[in-house]
Chains A and B, each alone.
Chain A
């Protein structure tokens, strides 16, 4: 599955548009990480636990989006966008969306 945040793929034609596909996940951090983050709030620096957590959740959102794309028979997802929003205190929603298409070749 080809993923891209461009609207076209250089050198390849789009045969069919299959519409929007999306994937999202809501994650909360656990207490241990929160505690470490509290310490880091004093010293400053990277919050590795959070970086990891958000990275994992983003991968999951992307994976869910790709699942949808596969279900509709696409072989590429173009114009992918990410968005993050905090729904409640300590929880964040990660959202990925894009356009599923069928491309020539492959």
Chain B
């Protein structure tokens, strides 16, 4: 009985705080995406040959995000029936966008206006602990091109 109460309490806490945290995070992501819109991200391996940047530099951004208790429970249910696991989709979407934003802010600090050869990498952190995903780490990295006018 006491287990059930704790379980329901955890679900409710996860639902409430998780929703709040997610909507706040999305708001901040949207705001910063607007602010960093002028930095171009290009996934091409080779920059165009006529581009002559002053300097190039590796930039990276990473984030570890955890899913809340309620969503993990939903995903557990999904495991029974199969299909799209929406609760994890939003988690990964948030993590990727956040990692890209952090990379962009590093690029802006260097005065870059383009980032080439973007690579993304996703790693699950709480592997080995039962069968839950729990938390994911996303790393985004690329090469920032710093135009010469940034020096002047």
Option from A8, A45, A85, A88 in Cβ contact (under 8 Å) with B46:
A8
CA separation between A8 and B53, bound complex, in Å? 13
Interface string of A67-92 (1 = CB under 8 A from B): 00000000000001111111011101
Option from A4, A54, A84 in Cβ contact (under 8 Å) with B143:
A4
Q: Which residues of A contact B116 (CB under 8 A)?
A: 6
Interface string of B24-51 (1 = CB under 8 A from A): 0100000000000000000001110101
Number of CB contacts from chain A to chain B under 8 A: 132
Q: Which residues of B contact A32 (CB under 8 A)?
A: none
CA separation between A37 and B136, bound complex, in Å? 12
A80–B58 contact, CB under 8 A? yes
Q: How large is the interface on A (under 10, 10 to 19, 20 to 34, 35 or more residues)?
A: 35 or more
Q: Which residues of A contact B14 (CB under 8 A)?
A: 42-44
Option from B52, B64, B142 in Cβ contact (under 8 Å) with A10:
B52
Q: Which residues of A contact B58 (CB under 8 A)?
A: 3-5, 80
Query: Which of B13, B60, B116 is packed against the most chain A CB atoms within 10 Å?
Result: B60
CA separation between A85 and B56, bound complex, in Å? 28
CA separation between A73 and B32, bound complex, in Å? 41
Q: How large is the interface on B (under 10, 10 to 19, 20 to 34, 35 or more residues)?
A: 35 or more
Q: Which residues of A contact B56 (CB under 8 A)?
A: 2, 4, 6, 9-10
A86–B123 contact, CB under 8 A? yes
The minimal Cβ–Cβ distance linking A84 to chain B, given in whole angstroms, is: 4
* Nearest-CB residue, chain A, relative to B69: A42
B57–A3 contact, CB under 8 A? yes
B143–A44 contact, CB under 8 A? no
Main secondary structure of the interface of A (DSSP, over half): mixed
Task: State whether the Cβ of B112 lies closer than 8 Å to any Cβ in chain A.
Answer: no
Given A45-B65, A46-B65, A89-B129, 14 more pairs with CB closer than 8 A: A5-B141, A40-B135, A41-B66, A41-B67, A41-B68, A44-B18, A44-B66, A50-B135, A51-B64, A54-B64, A80-B141, A84-B139, A86-B123, A89-B128
Chosen A-B contacts, 22 in total, with CB atoms closer than 8 Å, are A2-B56, A2-B57, A5-B58, A6-B46, A6-B56, A6-B143, A10-B51, A42-B17, A45-B17, A45-B68, A46-B65, A46-B98, A47-B64, A47-B135, A50-B125, A51-B137, A82-B60, A82-B139, A82-B141, A86-B127, A86-B128, A89-B129
Binding site for B on A (CB under 8 A): 2-11, 37, 40-47, 50-51, 54-55, 58, 80-86, 88-90, 92
